[in-house]
Amino acid sequence: MTKVVEQEIFEESAPEYWEQACAELIKHDRILKKLIPKHGSVFLRTRGDAFTTLARSIVGQQISVAAAQSVWNRVLLASKNKVTPKNILALSIEELRGAGLSGRKVEYIRDLADHFDSGRLHANQWKGMEDEAIIKELCDIRGIGRWTAEMFLMFNMVRPNILPLDDAGLIKAISLNYFSGEPVSRHEAREVAANWAPWRTVATWYMWRSLDPVPVEY
């Protein structure tokens, strides 16, 4: 059995702003005042480089976590255990299909690789760019929508003030925690989250923890 070498590296410490964000959210929000202390030993962790994170998001679209990991392991093997833009572009369509990717996902991951390899993305400038500018650039890539771009900003770039209103888990958590389970509109969710700024990423992360104490990895 061939051993798969995972190339992602997990950050073992919380983002530098995490402690300050938690303190301010506890001070200003009655729900988070109760929720944050319940999950004080866990925090948002980031892993991988930009291309790896986005490639994994494409691989995992519309399939289970277990299936996504299986396909990703096969993509890793096909890429000689290093998923880079050049390695993906060096693989034929048939080889990528053989790794378990659908025809559409092959198109998406190759387009992503081409964006990185050709320099059409300003990845080296993202650190100094506004959130919305990065989201716009990422959404120009086939197969990447706003939700995926927002997950990238949260889990790869660890931006502190992202509010993913297209995330069903966030909307459900706001409904349960702030509206006694009643349906919540995007407008109502945005109003609740206005109290979280400038730490909406952190508040969102704790909303997810209220539904599932075990963090999801992106």
Quick one: three-class SS letters along 68-109? HHHHHHHHHHHCCCCCCHHHHHHCCHHHHHHCCCCHHHHHHH
What pLDDT does 217 receive? 57
The predicted pLDDT at position 215 comes to: 67
Rounded to a whole number, what is the largest CA-CA distance in the chain? 55
Compute the chain's Rg from CA coordinates: 18
Tokens 């998406």 sit on residue: 108
Question: Residue 90 has what pLDDT?
Answer: 97
Kindly give the parts of the chain with pLDDT less than 50.
Answer: 1-10
Please state, in angstroms and rounded to a whole number, the distance separating the CA atoms of residues 125 and 82. 24
Q: Are 163 and 151 in contact (CB under 8 A)?
A: no
Q: What is the pLDDT of residue 163?
A: 98
Number of Cβ within 10 Å of residue 218's Cβ equals 17
Q: What does the alpha-carbon distance between residue 71 and residue 50 come to, in Å, rounded to a whole number? A: 19
3-state secondary structure of 47: strand
Q: What is the pLDDT of residue 83?
A: 92
Cβ contacts of residue 26 below 8 Å, gap of 6+? 32, 33, 36, 37
What is the separation, in whole angstroms, between the first and last Cα of the chain? 26
Torsion angle of C-alpha atoms 158, 152, 114, 125, degrees rounded to 10: -30
